[in-house]
Structure 1
Amino acid sequence: MPSSLGGGQSWRAPSIGTLEAPSPAAACATTSPASHPCERSRFLITSTGALYIKDVQNEDGLYNYRCITRHRYTGETRQSNSARLFVSDPANSAPSILDGFDHRKAMAGQRVELPCKALGHPEPDYRWLKDNMPLELSGRFQKTVTGLLIENTRPSDSGSYVCEVSNRYGTAKVIGRLYVKRKHGGSALSGGGVCLEGAAGSVEDAAASSRGRRPRSYSCRSLVDGGLTLSQAASEQRETLPSPRSQSGRCWMDACVTPRFPLLSFPRTPEPLKATISPRKVKSSVGSQVSLSCSVTGGQEQELSWYRNGEVLSPGKNVRITGLNHENLIMDHMVKSDGGAYQCFVRRDKLSAQDFVQVILEDGTPKIISAFSEKVVSPAEPVSLMCNVKGTPLPTITWTLDDDPILKGGGHRISQMITSEGNVVSYLNISSSQVRDGGVYRCTANNSAGVVLYQARINVRGPASIRPMKNITAIAGRDTYIHCRVIGYPYYSIKWYKNSNLLPFNHRQVAFENNGTLKLSDVQKEVDEGEYTCNVLVQPQLSTSQSVHVTVKDRSGSSLSVLCGGHPVPSTPQGGLKAVSTPRPPLQSRSR
């Protein structure tokens, strides 16, 4: 089970090889002969058996990791398969959730951990909210390396918890619900009270009340928050002894003692049903993920439904509804039509409540703000190319040279920064250019909303030649582009041939001699399929050529593809900026 990770980041190994028996104890081991104890500060095993490695180092990739479970009572052990960790240089990235939760259940007084761990660079920040309000992390609530730790849980700790994770490249969140149940230590009374052992009134006490004597104290606790103690009721010769109204948490109770019914009775006023959606304001972009959580007070047994613009929402391709009571709504790859009013509707018996928020979606398709221009340079001359792009979420920028990806090293240096305006600026630097560095450079900006590209030719003086070209598959009825990958400068001309015939020979063919691009419009299998040859005239009596084969597929048998620009890209009147913006295709319609 290999995993890849950037150095200096954290890694979580899932719990594997657990024993099918109560209360297994988790441990870890490595297969390296060198000492590598998990008790070191960078290694942490959680209560669920997950292994976390903080501040990953290169040497962490030298070991095999495995999980061993040991049964607490029988001593039987089982061991998982090995896992390897591949460590690479960290790359700037938005947070992505490694570990989270939908819901947790606990008994009052227990310790509970709500996991929330994300991978991102720089190291992301964490913020916790409970029922839409920032959570004060002190006392019983402590933020740990792996999430949120709650000591000595109380019923009032029940509710919706949100873990927000963010760095300068983006955000992510975990939404879950915690249910804390009270430990029942005595008799359950009507209306939600619990009378502790020995606290229920006896027949003698009731009789004493009727004779005018003071009965003993009755110590009882509310199911909601505990700690309610009823003082001694004034003793009078009547059947019903009124007691003062007491408040515990959100629960109001009345006490009633009669000779006929010695137990205390606590009729509880029903708490109003209330629904609250968080976040309250949602402004996102097309293609992004939107998460909503509906927090309900006034009882835990209710029916919850989600609506969008008055229509019921059901789980589908890009819609997920999670949580014990369906309180979490998660929507991926939002399209423009997904914007509007979202409603959480709750029913319990004859009661109902609702809340709604407006989801506003903006066009976050990447846009080129500024970029490099075409130029001619001499060998050994430094070259710096720049692409300035905006978009929501922040786009990822990649570079290619004559359609081949440019990777770090090999004389090329790529760096990136985020401006105060929220734009992404990427630089490609060549310290000492060579003839092989010439060609068409393209920067492509991509996010969940769409793709935009910019390209321009950089000519390096030297003998002209043609890089080998890859065969092309075209779709019938669509346009396709073939690029002659010329390096070196100057050269006299670039010409295209098909079956020894000089192109173009019909109106659907356009040859651009300035950059060596051939455009085929409305591709037809019978006419356009075959071998194409690019011929570059280097000197009056010297030429070089390369061939490429074009295969044409029927449109009916093809899968949907997105053309991220083409060759050539038309120039603006200013002559510098060349760009094609291609939004992502809309998702297929789904039934609601």
Structure 2
Amino acid sequence: MYFPPFAAEDFRQDVHWSTYRCIAGNTVGTIISRDVAVYGVVLQKYEPEVQNPSGFIGSNVLIKCNIPSFAKEYVTITSWLQEPNFNIYPSLEGDGKSHMLLSGELLVYNITRNDAKKIYRCRTHHKLTQDSVVSRNAGEIQLTEFRDRVPPIMNEKSSQFFTRLGDPVVVPCIAYANPKPTFRWFTKRSNEKYIQNILASGRAKIKDGTLIISAVEKTDNGAFYCIATNSEGTETFEAKILVTYPLASTIQPSIQTINIGQPADLICSVTGFPKHNIRWLKNGRTLGSGSRVRLITREHVRFSSIIKEDKGIYQCFIDNDIDSAQSSAELRLGEVAPQLLYKFIEQTMKSGPSVSLKCSASGNPTPNIVWNLDGFSLQNNERLMIGQYMTMFGDVISHVNISAVKTEDGGAYECRAISRAGEDFHSARLNIYGMPYVRFMPKLSAIAGKLFILKCPVAGYPIESVLVTKDGMRLPVNM
């Protein structure tokens, strides 16, 4: 699917701001893709703006670069410029004085009067236009003199930090206080020594109140708390670290062949986190459950007894607020011998009207229906037409339509459903009132020692008797 460029006045929300799915299908089944979200963006110029934070000597200060809401999703803060020409780039720990966090903010440790004289600009990158924009305004630290004692004050009491498994995360804890506070990190987990354990492992460190984890693990998912304390009081900051890992799913078995009436299981193995929703589809439609098809768990589907309609493609979809994934598996039916579901009946009629004979059959693989008349293959002609089609459930239906029947159309009609799994047949007479009539018989072949059956292709009704002769002698001669 291709979306050509469009002018702002041509923007259509139902086209350019919508969710799409791709659907693919064949005789085996149907699958659908994950949701594809399309967001058409009308480009607008944006101006990053650097805040002027306040602080006092000895405290840590966090400088933020604000991006307008309409561009925030597409703009990344790539670096900071401390004028005139000192560039600060993202790092795990910084240089001891200036530390650009992985999330884009600039953290200045232990500010001095000299730091209040410096000015900072942020440099940004727009991922759609590839433009690099430096903030016009320059940020400065507003130094505040505190003569009185002040308990710790935090501008932010909580924040969320999204990070992928194995990636680093840097969590600052900023508090304004006089005298300078001390910082302590802890968790409310069953293991109260969790912080001490990750510090001892070398996987994490605390630098002037900033928690630095070099490679997050799944167990890091959850809330961390920072307490800032001085002689005047305490304040607590809650940092929710949300660890993610790309979702993936696999259905086992990916292909299975089950005979009708037998049980079957489909199990969706899921990796990645966080896990939210799991849903099952069959041939692109939501899988219904009941007494025969049950969800043992969200990941486990059980069929107590397979029926013909169960064959097809099954998909397991998983998603959360960040990611989604799907997998598919095919359920095939074992070979089932053909079975005639509908059979035409014997009919007796006069010449002239039309007549239709119908047979339908099921089986796996789908059988083919052939027609015979008195044991000889039936062929299309100007008055006789054979038609066959398959239903959505895999049944095959075949008709013999005869227009303006004549006496010679009478005889024993047979429909035979055939596949590699076996065959089934049905025969009944079509009687047309009229004089006796014997149709032409082609040359016949037989094998010595094997059974040979000959049906006399007789039409007309009623028939009093049928005689078969060989070389002028009436058969049979040796019953």
TM-score normalized with structure 2 length: 0.38
Q: Which has the larger radius of gyration?
A: 2
Larger RCO: Structure 1 or Structure 2 (Cα < 8 Å, ≥ 6 residues apart)?
2
